[in-house]
Structure 1
């Protein structure tokens, strides 16, 4: 069984649709408006970005998830940055004045965060004595020191992406002595697939950027920046897949795929782990955690539900999952289970 603690799909669709409408529809509308109505519509668009969207985010995201209300300040700050990029010069002057009001609060948070660096580092080193996992350790140490809030979790997620994309050559913490590691990507041929995806994405990024320049320079810059971040995420995920294998250490088990998801449990908590064939169909409610959809070769059922932590998504509580393990028989032997084929 899989129990979701995430938002209703309707809420996600509504807030995403509103964001895309404001980001692309607003500049497009302003570009085609006649001069007499230009300032009035621009002021209305500014109000929608700074008031309507934060209000919608509060009722669609913060309130259903029962997040702290102060998270709306972070949303407003992001809206100010986006508004400055898409609004004409007259409205940009208003934004700069409003931006000054949030600078003091942001500087205070930055100073507070800097003062906690030693505490974060200490907590991070302490976690490394267990099964090492950069994404989990970084987020856990930051939330423990700075508070378990959405801005802190997002910051931890961003730092994780930058760690594996821009600093992918750095070594990760060594696994504990006698820990057995299992890769999750070799049999699926994901390295070749990643190369193709990266090449095509770079070509499309360049072409789409040139296309958008004909309509809006600002939109082209924003979309290109978001696309570059998407490429960074792909690189980070690939680097993490290679450097972050599944680990079995005594009775401890760390299952993970790149920076996408991870879970900690014990080998004793596994009710069954079976090898599966291409004809196997995951049951309803089963978490699909393989590198690619067609590479699954292991079906694991847990005695007690386990929490799956995802980089940007909410935590999922699951009873079973499917994953790809390159050394399936060796993995089952490490769990002290007899190989069974579905």
Structure 2
């Protein structure tokens, strides 16, 4: 559950787009001035202007302006300055006069030093954020999103990046892990009676056959396109495997005071038991936009109707209100009895 105030946009968030636009305009203005000066400089001064003045402006002055106007004021990661430096170096390299003395090699070495320093600093911040998030949550998505939030300070962007790492965690590093069941909670699986794992396995097998056939057909016209489609199919399979592992490792949890409704990598919501009005198989008279569907394909539906709306977050942190949850515990009777005495 996410508090309403936590998701309210801050004044800084409202000022960020105009500030970013002004900063980009200032950087483009500096680029325009430099290029105009290089175009107007006499022939005897072209070597100095192209090999010394222009690289210094584009690789030092423009990134410094971007850092002061955007990164520092908005408390963003210094990693955002690196692409500005790279762009300045690329433009300077294209306009440099060959076989003449140039400051570009020196600036290239300085850029590598800056990249190393920024990378070390940001990696340390990322690790600290990851450790803090892991100490306060048992959800891998929260671990990685918390780490990225230290760098980008934007919850939605952090969750998108964290979801990518969480996917690889479940696909590659979770095979020896057991379901996480905190002390004082009962776990209710959702994947056994529905045959969810078997269905996903069949889909992966069909995708493998289809991917091979499509690759062979498309390769007759374009090898690059065939390889791209195959890579996308492999990525989809990895995602399906990761989501299946997440479903297995994240069962529904019922404690003394709350229900932890989880499904795969994407959803983990805490519902106070005092908020539950009804539990049963009958579909409630609640609009679809106010429902949260956490049921497995082919599973027996168990509806949880709430006394009042509960704010939940989507996969990328966007809040919405729900008044009913649909789950599919393998042991529906035991799950219902675990909730009803407290409802």
Q: CA deviation at 1:302?
A: 1.8
Partner of 2:303: 299
TM superposition outliers: structure 1 runs of 4+ over 4 Å: 103-112, 280-283
Question: For the Cα contact (< 8 Å) 1:296–1:322, is it kept in 2?
Answer: no
TM-score (norm 2): 0.60
Inter-partner Cα distance in structure 2 for 1:311 and 1:106: 32
* CA-based RMSD: 3.7
Q: How does 1:100-115 map to 2 (within 5 A)?
A: 110-115=119-124
Higher-Rg structure is: 2
TM-score (norm 1): 0.60
Aligned residues: 245
Question: For the Cα contact (< 8 Å) 1:176–1:249, is it kept in 2?
Answer: no
Secondary structure of the residue that 2:295 maps to in structure 1?
coil
Q: Residues 173, 338 of structure 1: CA spacing in aligned structure 2 closer, same or farther, 3 A cutoff?
A: closer
Task: Pick from 165, 169, 172 the counterpart of residue 163 of structure 1.
Answer: 169
Q: How does 1:10-29 map to 2 (within 5 A)?
A: none
Question: For the Cα contact (< 8 Å) 1:288–1:323, is it kept in 2?
Answer: yes
Partner of 2:132: 123
Question: For the Cα contact (< 8 Å) 2:282–2:303, is it kept in 1?
Answer: yes
Question: For the Cα contact (< 8 Å) 1:253–1:264, is it kept in 2?
Answer: yes
Structure 1: unaligned runs, 5 residues or longer: 6-67, 78-92
Determine if the alignment matches structure 1 residue 208 to structure 2 residue 217.
no
Task: Pick from 277, 288, 292 the counterpart of residue 293 of structure 2.
Answer: 288
Inter-partner Cα distance in structure 2 for 1:284 and 1:182: 25
Inter-partner Cα distance in structure 2 for 1:109 and 1:155: 19
Q: Residues 265, 233 of structure 1: CA spacing in aligned structure 2 closer, same or farther, 3 A cutoff?
A: same
Q: How does 1:81-160 map to 2 (within 5 A)?
A: 110-128=119-137, 132-144=138-150, 146-160=152-166
Inter-partner Cα distance in structure 1 for 2:151 and 2:274: 32
Q: How does 1:1-342 map to 2 (within 5 A)?
A: 110-128=119-137, 132-144=138-150, 146-171=152-177, 174-276=180-282, 284-285=288-289, 286-292=291-297, 294-312=298-316, 314-337=318-341
